[in-house]
Structure 1
Amino acid sequence: MMMKNLVYSFLLFCFFFHVNAQTASIKNADKKYDSYAYANAITAYEKLVKKGVKEERIFQRLGNSYYYIGELEDALRYYQELFSINENQEPEYMYRYAQCLKSIGSYSKADAVLEKFAQKAPLDKRSVLFLKNRSYLEDIKFNSGRFDIADAGINSKDSDYGSTILDNKLVFTSARDTGSIIKKNFKWTNKAISTLYTAELNPDGSIGKPELFHKENLKVNLNQSTPVFTKDGRTMYFTRNNSVNGKRRQNENNITFLKLYKAVLINNEWKEVEALPFNSDQYSVAHPALSVDEKTLYFASDMPGTYGLSDIFKVSILPDGTYGTPENLGPEINTEGRETFPFISDENELYFATDGRPGLGGLDIYVSKINKDGAFDEVLNVGEPVNSKQDDFAFSINSKNRNGFFSSNRVNGHGLDDIYRFTENRRLICEQQISGTIIDVETNEVLSDVSLILFDDAGKSAVDGKSDSNGNYIFSNVKCGKKYFIRTSKEDYLPKEVSITLKKATGSVSLPIVLEKKPKPIVKAMPVVIKGNAIKPVKVNITIGTDLVKLLNIPMNFFDLGKATIKKESEPKLQKIVDMLKQYPTIKIDIRSHTDSRSSTESNQILSDKRAQSSKNWLEQRGIDPSRLTAKGYGETQLVNKCADGVKCTEKEHQQNRRSEFIITSM
Structure 2
Amino acid sequence: MIKRNFILGIVLVFLVGQNTWAQEKLITKANQKYREYSFSPAIDIYKKVLDKGFVSADLLKNLGNSYYFNADYKEAAETYKRLLKDYTSDIGPEYYFRYSQTLKSLGDYEAAKGMMDEFSKITADDVRAGFYKNEKDYLEEIKKNSGRYEIKPFEYNTPYSEFAPSYYKKGLIFSSDRDTGNLAKYRHTWNSKDFLDLYKVNTDSLDNNRVTKLGDDINTRLHESTSVVTNDGKYLYFTRNNFKDGKYITDENGIIRLKILRASLVDGVWTNIEEFPFNSDSYSTAHPTFSADGKTMYFASDMPGTLGQSDIFRVAVYDDGKFGTPENLGSNINTEARETFPYITSENVLYLSSDGHPGLGGLDVFAAKIGLDDYQGAVVNVGEPVNSKMDDFTFVFDEDTRNGYFASNREGGQGADDIYSFVETIPLKLVCDQGISGTVRDKITNDVLVGATVKVIDENNEELLTTITDSQGEYKLSVDCNQGNFVRALMQGYVPSEEYLGKSDGKPNIIDFYLERDQVMAGFGDDLAKLLQLSTIYFDFDKYNIRKDSEIEVQKVIAAMEKYPSLKIKVNSHTDSRGRDAYNLWLSQKRAESTVNYMISRGISEDRLKGEGYGETKLVNHCENGVRCTAAEHEKNRRSEFIILE
Superposed, 1:199-598 pairs within 5 Å as 199-202=201-204, 208-209=208-209, 211-429=211-429, 451-452=453-454
- In structure 1, the partner of 2:44 is 43
- In structure 2, the partner of 1:508 is none
CA contact (8 A) 1:200 1:208 kept: no
Q: How far does residue 466 in structure 1 lie from its aligned partner after superposition? A: 8.1
CA contact (8 A) 2:302 2:309 kept: yes
- d(CA) in 2 for partners of 1:464 and 1:247? 64
- In structure 1, the partner of 2:197 is 195
Q: How far does residue 217 in structure 1 lie from its aligned partner after superposition? A: 2.4
- In structure 1, the partner of 2:20 is 19
- d(CA) in 1 for partners of 2:357 and 2:195? 25
CA contact (8 A) 2:341 2:353 kept: yes
Q: Per the alignment, in what secondary structure is the counterpart of residue 386 of structure 2?
A: coil
Q: Deviations over 1:506-535 (max 9, x none)?
A: xxxxxxxxxxxxxxxxxxxxxxxxxxxxxx
Q: How far does residue 213 in structure 1 lie from its aligned partner after superposition? A: 2.8
Q: 1:210 to 1:96 in 2, by over 3 A?
A: farther
- In structure 2, the partner of 1:125 is 127
Q: Deviations over 1:555-582 (max 9, x none)?
A: xxxxxxxxxxxxxxxxxxxxxxxxxxxx
Q: Which amino acid aligns with 2:260?
A: L
Q: Deviations over 1:463-499 (max 9, x none)?
A: 66689xxxxxx9985889xxxxx9x99889xxxxxxx
- d(CA) in 1 for partners of 2:431 and 2:305? 36
Q: Per the alignment, in what secondary structure is the counterpart of residue 82 of structure 1?
A: helix
CA contact (8 A) 1:35 1:254 kept: yes
- d(CA) in 2 for partners of 1:464 and 1:228? 44
Q: TM-score, normalised by structure 1?
A: 0.64
Q: Which amino acid aligns with 1:342?
A: P
Larger radius of gyration: 2
- d(CA) in 2 for partners of 1:475 and 1:300? 30
CA contact (8 A) 1:185 1:191 kept: no
Q: How far does residue 223 in structure 1 lie from its aligned partner after superposition? A: 1.3
Segments of 5+ residues of structure 2 without an aligned counterpart are: 433-450, 458-463, 470-476, 494-646
- d(CA) in 1 for partners of 2:385 and 2:191? 21
Q: 1:61 to 1:207 in 2, by over 3 A?
A: farther
- d(CA) in 1 for partners of 2:92 and 2:210? 45
- d(CA) in 1 for partners of 2:373 and 2:14? 72
CA contact (8 A) 1:70 1:191 kept: no
Q: Per the alignment, in what secondary structure is the counterpart of residue 217 of structure 1?
A: coil
CA contact (8 A) 1:344 1:350 kept: yes
Q: 1:334 to 1:430 in 2, by over 3 A?
A: closer
- In structure 2, the partner of 1:100 is 102
Q: Per the alignment, in what secondary structure is the counterpart of residue 26 of structure 1?
A: helix
Q: Per the alignment, in what secondary structure is the counterpart of residue 218 of structure 1?
A: coil
CA contact (8 A) 2:148 2:426 kept: yes
Q: 1:393 to 1:430 in 2, by over 3 A?
A: closer
CA contact (8 A) 1:38 1:66 kept: yes
Q: 1:431 to 1:395 in 2, by over 3 A?
A: closer
- d(CA) in 2 for partners of 1:223 and 1:430? 35
Q: How far does residue 69 in structure 1 lie from its aligned partner after superposition? A: 1.3
Q: Deviations over 1:8-58 (max 9, x none)?
A: 211121121122112212111111111211111100000011111222221
CA-based RMSD of the aligned residues comes to 3.1
Q: 1:185 to 1:404 in 2, by over 3 A?
A: closer
- In structure 2, the partner of 1:28 is 29
- In structure 2, the partner of 1:160 is 162
Between stretches 379-388 and 175-184, larger displacement belongs to: 175-184
CA contact (8 A) 2:288 2:342 kept: yes
Structure 1: which 4+ aligned runs deviate by more than 4 Å?
181-186, 188-193, 452-455, 462-467, 474-480, 488-492
Segments of 5+ residues of structure 1 without an aligned counterpart are: 433-448, 456-461, 468-473, 481-485, 493-667
Q: Deviations over 1:312-364 (max 9, x none)?
A: 11111122212112111110100001000000001111000000011101101
Q: Per the alignment, in what secondary structure is the counterpart of residue 119 of structure 1?
A: helix
- d(CA) in 1 for partners of 2:275 and 2:66? 29
- In structure 2, the partner of 1:79 is 80
Q: Which amino acid aligns with 1:151?
A: P
- d(CA) in 2 for partners of 1:315 and 1:3? 76
Q: Per the alignment, in what secondary structure is the counterpart of residue 126 of structure 1?
A: helix
CA contact (8 A) 1:201 1:207 kept: no
Q: State yes or no: 1:64 paired with 2:65.
A: yes
Between stretches 173-182 and 364-373, larger displacement belongs to: 173-182
Q: Which amino acid aligns with 1:100?
A: T
Q: Deviations over 1:107-133 (max 9, x none)?
A: 011011101110110000100111266
CA contact (8 A) 1:152 1:207 kept: no
CA contact (8 A) 1:70 1:190 kept: no
- In structure 2, the partner of 1:646 is none
Q: Which amino acid aligns with 1:147?
A: Y
- In structure 1, the partner of 2:138 is 136
Q: Which amino acid aligns with 2:223?
A: N
CA contact (8 A) 1:182 1:193 kept: no
Q: Per the alignment, in what secondary structure is the counterpart of residue 287 of structure 1?
A: strand
Q: How far does residue 167 in structure 1 lie from its aligned partner after superposition? A: 1.2
Q: Which amino acid aligns with 1:260?
A: I
- In structure 2, the partner of 1:54 is 55
- d(CA) in 1 for partners of 2:181 and 2:282? 29
Q: Deviations over 1:153-192 (max 9, x none)?
A: 1111111100012110211000111143467766358794
Q: How far does residue 262 in structure 1 lie from its aligned partner after superposition? A: 0.5
Q: Which amino acid aligns with 2:58?
A: R
- d(CA) in 2 for partners of 1:115 and 1:15? 43
Between stretches 375-384 and 247-256, larger displacement belongs to: 247-256
- d(CA) in 2 for partners of 1:477 and 1:351? 19
Q: Per the alignment, in what secondary structure is the counterpart of residue 44 of structure 1?
A: helix
- d(CA) in 2 for partners of 1:233 and 1:93? 45
- Find 1:171's aligned residue among 173, 177, 182: 173
Q: How far does residue 266 in structure 1 lie from its aligned partner after superposition? A: 1.2
- In structure 1, the partner of 2:534 is none
Q: 1:406 to 1:255 in 2, by over 3 A?
A: same
- d(CA) in 2 for partners of 1:247 and 1:430? 46
Q: How far does residue 232 in structure 1 lie from its aligned partner after superposition? A: 2.4
Q: Which amino acid aligns with 2:304?
A: P
Q: Per the alignment, in what secondary structure is the counterpart of residue 217 of structure 2?
A: helix
Q: Which amino acid aligns with 1:366?
A: F
Q: How far does residue 80 in structure 1 lie from its aligned partner after superposition? A: 1.3
Q: Which amino acid aligns with 2:428?
A: L
- d(CA) in 2 for partners of 1:168 and 1:226? 18
Q: Per the alignment, in what secondary structure is the counterpart of residue 293 of structure 1?
A: coil
- In structure 2, the partner of 1:647 is none
